[in-house]
Structure 1
Amino acid sequence: MQLLHNKTVVYVTHQLEFLDASDLVLVMKGGRIVESGKYEDLISKTDGELIKQMAAHSKSLNQVKPPKTTNSAKSYQQAKQIEETGIQFVDLSRSSRVSERNLHEETESGRVKWHVYATFITSAYKGALVPIILLCQVLFQVLQMASNYWIAWGSERNGSVTKQQLIEIFALLSGGSSFFILGRAFVLSTIALETAQRLFLGMITSVFRAPLSFFDSTPSSRILNRSSTDQSIVDTDIPYRLAGLAFALIQLLSIVVLMSMLPGSSARELARMVPIQQAPILQHFSESISGATVIRSFNQEGRFWKKNAELINDYSRVAFHNSGTMEWLCVRINFLFNLVFFILLVILVSLPRSAIDPSLAGLAATYGLNLNVLQAWVIWNLCNVENKMICVERILQFTGIPSEAPLLIEDCRPDTEWPLNGRIEVENLHVQYNPFLPKVLKGITCTFPSKKKIGVVGRTGSGKSTLIQALFRVVEPTQGRIVIDGIDISKIGTLRTNLDPLQEHTDHEIWEVLHKCHLAEIVKQDERLLDASVAEDGENWSVGQRQLVCLARVLLQRRRILVLDEATASVDTATDNLIQKTIREETSECTVITVAHRIPTVVDNDLVLVLGDGKVVEYDSPTQLLGDTNSAFSSLVMEFLRRSSTKNSYELE
């Protein structure tokens, strides 16, 4: 509070021990303010709402017995010393995510690799239809040239070729060329659709199966950029540009090889920079929309508009230069080939009439004009296709993301009844979020007996949540293993499953768990009852109600192992007491692992695991740990009791 003494501070909390530091207390119930005033005045009301909540808080605290000591002043001093000079841990998981998010986007350099082209061409049917397209194009070109030559040759043969023969053969040749161009278009569309689908599914599958570290280091805008902008170019642009280029190369291969070196490497690198500069715009826009309320409340719209304009300027600058390089190439190619065509026409006009047949000269001029346009088009598109292929290159980068363990390993599938007992053995467990970052868990070894309740406590950054993530294999251990009922979980695929209800239980069972989680009355307020709609992300439920829904879903599943990570952090103390009672009664046949900052939540467990700096500090029953005044758990309890005891509320016995 010292840093905020000149600020108006509004804080919402279930931790009632902090209320005595407030100048004004508002007590809410059912969406309304039922009491307001100073803390001392509110707790003096014997029938007030705050005093009822304080009574529940007091009941929760009474479950925690301070360590037995002969000198209470010594205990108080010990707790104060722990708070002031206790070990400070850094949340490595959070710091790792922040540092990794600052990594630059991965990008290639130089020419687009040939394997990118090969992968794109062979994605559909392993490239089996590509020769058919080329054959159709060759036959189309041959028949088209034959029809043009036939008209030029036949028109000069008066008497030897009738008009009917001239038209019939021309129609036959033109019809054949039309048939092959139609076949080429059909096969090309089939290949384009199949290629786009395979690349997209490959990328999305890799992203869905990517480890947690990938999402820590990759902003969502990068994924959206590749799955939208880059994929759109792959869908609608590259196949037809690449095919058109291949068709023209049949005629102009030698010229293209010579002229394709004109744009140099600048166009490629600029094309790579365009999507990289686009991703921050998407990220900033998404974050601005999500935080619009906060931005407006702090009157920071101008700063975000300015930042958005800067990002758009950065993108526009690169996009302008990218377009400029292509236009530079186009202007110079057109100028060069117009000059060549002009010289060709001068030569044709200058030749004597007897040197060349006028009809063939006209045909040559026509093809010369087509050749001029075609050569410019081919060279321009060759460079443009390479720039567009960068989108394929970027998509292929995501298809190569290291994957998590397979969902199922057929040779190591456990019995359908596994886990039967729920015994968990953690052996020399080491976990780190990234190979370049320090370890978060450092050689944890312990055993969670079956059908016991184990509390996991520790200061922020001690590794509590990381241990749970390792249990569910959200992160993979770098060393050591976790064994459940004799089976190493790293050998049986992932443990994560979708817990959405699949209508496997009756309404009676659902209502039963709703009553146990104290949600039944809330659900009954909607006339649709169990068919009531839930908004996206549960926005029509409070945070505490969402936690209770998750708890109800778990109780409905009746698993052998139950993991609770701050399961009641967003509910009030009275509801927390009721929920803890429900958990104790309904999970007698389960192994329960509870991660909590509220000491009363874990003090009645069978065992307590104390973590510190990623290591096991203590692991024993609460009674044994509290019996030792020098234990870390006793220190946490004394600190909690000292903080929770206030002169205006109640005294602990």
Structure 2
Amino acid sequence: MDHLIEFWPILKRLLVYLVPFKKQLILACILLFSGSISEVLGPILISYFINNILSKHQLYSATIFVVIITYILLQIISVFFNYFQSILFNKIAVKVINKLRKDVMNSALQQPISQFDCQPIGQMISKVTNDTEAVKELYDTVAPTLFKSIILIVIVLFAMFTLEWHMAIIALLILPVVMTIMFIYQKHSTPILRKVRYYLADINNKFNETINGINVIQQFCQQNRFKKSIKNSSELHYTARMKILKLEGFLLRPLLSLLSALVLCHFILLFSCFKVGVFEVGILYAFITYLGRLNEPLIAITIQQSVLQQSIVAGERIFNLIDSPKQKYGNNIKALKNGNINIKNVTFHYNNSKKYVLKNINIYIPSKNFIAFVGHTGSGKTTLANLIMGYYPVRNGKIYLDNQNIDSISHSILRKHLLMVQQDPIVLSDTIFANITLGRTISEEKVWKILDTVHLTSLVKSMPKGIYSMLGEEGNNLSAGQKQLLALARILVSPPKILVLDEATANIDSGTEKLIQKTLAYIRENSTLIVIAHRLSTIIDADLIVVLKKGKIIECGTHQSLLNKKSFYSKMYRLQLSKS
């Protein structure tokens, strides 16, 4: 019964999204209801024609003309109403999905950074695209089809009982059998459909990885391995889909068609058993027509079970994302005035690992100082920077910014006063102006001043449209150094109190490094600067160098004082000098 427990709450929650559109929904239902009545009145009219006109040979031209015109009008009205209800339902569905996608995207944007450490990006993309598209079918296909089918069944049964209740009871017997088939189908299809959605997300994730890493794949001739991996995922998806199709092929149309055929045989048997005149030919015609009309909505309802199940499974995945814990921030909106940092007894490990990355870290960083974190790969430098940025909650120990506990500071204050430039800055496929402003209100004149500060003016002026020149995807028409300078330009739009550079000079030439150093000297006048560096030549002027090894601070001091100690830092520095 677990699948039923999950089914109804998710369906109810998905239907709540229709509440803002209830007026349009009511109008769509009225149109659908009117179309269904028009559709059902046709056989009653023909039945009347057979019993009262054709069988009595009263074939007057005027009467026949009226019947034909009325029948055609009923069909036209039915088509008219069904067309407009379909358009209206689709409009509602698109609006609902837009709202749902906004909710999903908003939730994805508020996910803790830790979520992205363990969740493939393709899985999240699949929830925003494929899963919301699957849910859309609930609103534009399943809901109107179910409503129309139920209305048709009720109207057809009412018409049947009005015409001949004996035969109507026989037709009614098909309903509990159909309900049983639907229950069996739902029970067996839910776990398979869950796998279908998972495999589809896995295929998206692998395509995403393949496209993003195409250079590495081609460089190391890994095309066949990745093709095989995607092929395996596609085969798993194909196998799961085939299971659903086989289940549908057995439980849906063939079985229901058989049931309808049996009911039709009962009609013929009942018609033949009674005396001539008890059942009229027109009534038999109407019942045979209605049986076809009854059969179709029953088949439609059962077929929609498959689509409904896919929508529910997709909805389950979407709501898992929406309901997942968001990045937590405090409520303190007091602005940072100085930018001093006090790290007290911080010990940290990631959620998916019990191994401690940082152990008992204690550092005091005065305002507007230049601090460097150095150490071998895996020493904990980037993790410490991420904790200072507020990307991860500090579970053991405390971090204070301007004597305020970082956990108490609001998101707006943190993101305004703490900024980071990473080793590989994200460059949008947009104009230079848009890449610098990032939606903030700023004049063209100020952008040119910033470009001058980061020494990018000559480059931008050489481009066809200046600051409105388009940059390629991920900034592929810029060098690594130019990307770093562009990232620093973003910072200068609104200089922070604390700036973190994570290996920002690792992939650049010495000329660009000097330009970055000049820009950093300008930023240091108003900001505390934290630099994570492998290239030790970039941190010689640091006020304090913190040396980390296996998550512990093993040395602290200025460049010269650490050289004089002739310990770990001194060895690292001399080793780099010998290689240069």
**Corresponding residue for 2:571?**
638
**Corresponding residue for 1:333?**
256
Superimposed CA distance per residue, residues 343-372 of structure 1 (whole angstroms, 9 cap, x where no aligned partner)? 322322443222123322321222123223
Of the two, which has the highest radius of gyration? Answer: 1
Indicate if the aligned counterparts of 2:51 and 2:281 stay in contact, CA closer than 8 A.
Answer: no
**Corresponding residue for 1:378?**
301
SS at match of 1:496: helix
CA shift at 1:229, angstroms? 2.4
CA shift at 1:457, angstroms? 1.9
**Corresponding residue for 1:229?**
130
Superposition pairs of residues 120-519 of structure 1, within 5 angstroms: 120-125=14-19, 128=22, 137=32, 141=36, 144-145=39-40, 148-149=43-44, 152-153=47-48, 156=51, 163=63, 181=82, 184-185=85-86, 187-236=88-137, 239-250=140-151, 251=153, 254-263=176-185, 265-329=187-251, 330-405=253-328, 412-414=332-334, 418-434=335-351, 436-490=353-407, 491-494=409-412, 495-496=414-415, 500-501=436-437, 502=440, 504=442, 507=445, 514=451, 517-519=454-456
Change over 3 Å in CA distance of 1:380–1:585 after alignment to 2: closer
SS at match of 2:529: strand
Change over 3 Å in CA distance of 1:221–1:588 after alignment to 2: closer
Indicate if the aligned counterparts of 2:463 and 2:469 stay in contact, CA closer than 8 A.
Answer: yes
Indicate if the aligned counterparts of 1:200 and 1:231 stay in contact, CA closer than 8 A.
Answer: yes
Indicate if the aligned counterparts of 1:207 and 1:398 stay in contact, CA closer than 8 A.
Answer: yes
**Corresponding residue for 1:114?**
8
Change over 3 Å in CA distance of 1:586–1:286 after alignment to 2: closer
SS at match of 2:200: helix
Q: Distance in 2 between matches of 1:506 and 1:608?
A: 38
Change over 3 Å in CA distance of 1:551–1:264 after alignment to 2: closer
Superimposed CA distance per residue, residues 243-288 of structure 1 (whole angstroms, 9 cap, x where no aligned partner)? 2123323537645423313436332222222222223333333333
Indicate if the aligned counterparts of 1:207 and 1:401 stay in contact, CA closer than 8 A.
Answer: no
**Corresponding residue for 1:590?**
527
**Corresponding residue for 2:426?**
none
Change over 3 Å in CA distance of 1:310–1:610 after alignment to 2: same
Change over 3 Å in CA distance of 1:179–1:318 after alignment to 2: closer
Superimposed CA distance per residue, residues 4-31 of structure 1 (whole angstroms, 9 cap, x where no aligned partner)? xxxxxxxxxxxxxxxxxxxxxxxxxxxx
SS at match of 1:445: strand
**Corresponding residue for 1:17?**
none
Change over 3 Å in CA distance of 1:550–1:318 after alignment to 2: same
CA shift at 1:296, angstroms? 3.7
Change over 3 Å in CA distance of 1:341–1:439 after alignment to 2: farther
Going by fraction, where is helix more abundant, 1 or 2? 2
Change over 3 Å in CA distance of 1:157–1:587 after alignment to 2: same
Indicate if the aligned counterparts of 1:454 and 1:608 stay in contact, CA closer than 8 A.
Answer: yes
Q: Which amino acid aligns with 2:44?
A: Y
Change over 3 Å in CA distance of 1:425–1:298 after alignment to 2: closer
Q: Distance in 1 between matches of 2:45 and 2:111?
A: 61
Indicate if the aligned counterparts of 2:359 and 2:551 stay in contact, CA closer than 8 A.
Answer: yes
SS at match of 1:559: coil
Superimposed CA distance per residue, residues 291-329 of structure 1 (whole angstroms, 9 cap, x where no aligned partner)? 444444444444443443333222222222221111112
CA shift at 1:617, angstroms? 3.5
Q: Distance in 1 between matches of 2:441 and 2:28?
A: 51
Q: Distance in 2 between matches of 1:531 and 1:387?
A: 45
Change over 3 Å in CA distance of 1:312–1:154 after alignment to 2: closer
RMSD: 3.7
SS at match of 1:617: strand
**Corresponding residue for 1:580?**
517
Indicate if the aligned counterparts of 1:341 and 1:369 stay in contact, CA closer than 8 A.
Answer: no
CA shift at 1:480, angstroms? 3.8
Q: Distance in 2 between matches of 1:577 and 1:373?
A: 76
Q: Distance in 2 between matches of 1:435 and 1:580?
A: 37
Superposition pairs of residues 59-138 of structure 1, within 5 angstroms: 113-125=7-19, 128=22, 137=32
Q: Distance in 1 between matches of 2:308 and 2:393?
A: 41
Indicate if the aligned counterparts of 2:339 and 2:528 stay in contact, CA closer than 8 A.
Answer: yes
TM-score (norm 2): 0.78
TM-score (norm 1): 0.70
- Structure 1: gaps (5+ residues): 1-107
Q: Which amino acid aligns with 1:641?
A: R
CA shift at 1:340, angstroms? 2.3
**Corresponding residue for 1:551?**
488
Matched, 1:602 2:525: no
Q: Which amino acid aligns with 2:194?
A: R
CA shift at 1:332, angstroms? 2.1
**Corresponding residue for 1:536?**
473
Q: Distance in 2 between matches of 1:220 and 1:116?
A: 24
Q: Distance in 2 between matches of 1:404 and 1:563?
A: 20
Indicate if the aligned counterparts of 2:348 and 2:394 stay in contact, CA closer than 8 A.
Answer: yes
Q: Distance in 2 between matches of 1:118 and 1:263?
A: 20
Change over 3 Å in CA distance of 1:296–1:145 after alignment to 2: closer
Q: Distance in 2 between matches of 1:428 and 1:150?
A: 87
CA shift at 1:446, angstroms? 2.3
Indicate if the aligned counterparts of 2:146 and 2:301 stay in contact, CA closer than 8 A.
Answer: yes
- Aligned pair count reads 528
Change over 3 Å in CA distance of 1:390–1:589 after alignment to 2: closer
Q: Distance in 1 between matches of 2:456 and 2:301?
A: 69
CA shift at 1:559, angstroms? 3.4
Q: Distance in 1 between matches of 2:21 and 2:9?
A: 14
Change over 3 Å in CA distance of 1:470–1:178 after alignment to 2: same
Change over 3 Å in CA distance of 1:562–1:286 after alignment to 2: closer
Q: Distance in 1 between matches of 2:504 and 2:45?
A: 84
Which range moved further: 563-572 or 278-287?
A: 278-287
Indicate if the aligned counterparts of 2:349 and 2:355 stay in contact, CA closer than 8 A.
Answer: yes
Q: Which amino acid aligns with 2:504?
A: A
Indicate if the aligned counterparts of 2:138 and 2:307 stay in contact, CA closer than 8 A.
Answer: no
SS at match of 1:353: coil
Change over 3 Å in CA distance of 1:376–1:345 after alignment to 2: farther
Q: Which amino acid aligns with 2:302?
A: I
CA shift at 1:527, angstroms? 6.5
Indicate if the aligned counterparts of 1:249 and 1:256 stay in contact, CA closer than 8 A.
Answer: no
Indicate if the aligned counterparts of 1:120 and 1:195 stay in contact, CA closer than 8 A.
Answer: no
CA shift at 1:449, angstroms? 0.7
Q: Distance in 2 between matches of 1:297 and 1:620?
A: 43
Q: Which amino acid aligns with 2:15?
A: I
Change over 3 Å in CA distance of 1:242–1:596 after alignment to 2: same
Change over 3 Å in CA distance of 1:534–1:272 after alignment to 2: same
Q: Distance in 1 between matches of 2:295 and 2:460?
A: 75
